Amino acid sequence: MGIEDDFYATIKLKSGEEIFSKVAASEEVDKTLLIVSNPVIVKEIKGKLNNVVGYKVEPWLKTTKDDMFILNLDNVLTMSESTDIEMIMMYQEYIRTNDSSDVPYSKLSREMGYISTVDDAKEILEKLYKKT
């Protein structure tokens, strides 16, 4: 039982999804689990005019800020370790530019707009509605 060294891989799930991620395999008592870090979907984009090919990288799960997921190997159709330097660099750049932990949060201030309680806002909106 233990976790193997991390590696980059493309994983095809039985659901049909294809993800690229940094992966570590974990051997448990009765099953093998994959720990995927920052999984992404990579889509090929072709230009209409001059057939230029580019890639769009987006998060695998869009409604969560979690960056690590556990997959049961039973849900994996196939997996291929990646040594493609361009793909790995594109993935790393995406992770670096989308790291939300470095984003400073601003304090609310009056310069940003109106600050009020729900009751005050409700009262103001009702007055506006009655005027029209």
Q: Quick: pLDDT tens for 13-36.
A: 999 999 999 999 888 888 889 999
Instruction: Please say if the pLDDT value at position 103 is more than 70.
Output: no
Q: Quick: pLDDT tens for 48-98.
A: 777 778 888 999 998 888 889 999 999 999 999 999 998 999 999 998 888
Residue 43 and residue 54: Cα distance in Å, rounded?
8
CATH number of 2-105: 2.30.30.100
What's the whole-model pTM score? 0.67
Q: Which residue in 110, 35, 40, 47 sits closest to 73, CA to CA?
A: 35
How many CB atoms sit inside 10 A of residue 21's CB? Answer: 25
CB contact at 8 A, 19 and 41: yes
Beta bridge mates, 3: 26
- Annotated domain spans of the chain: 2-105
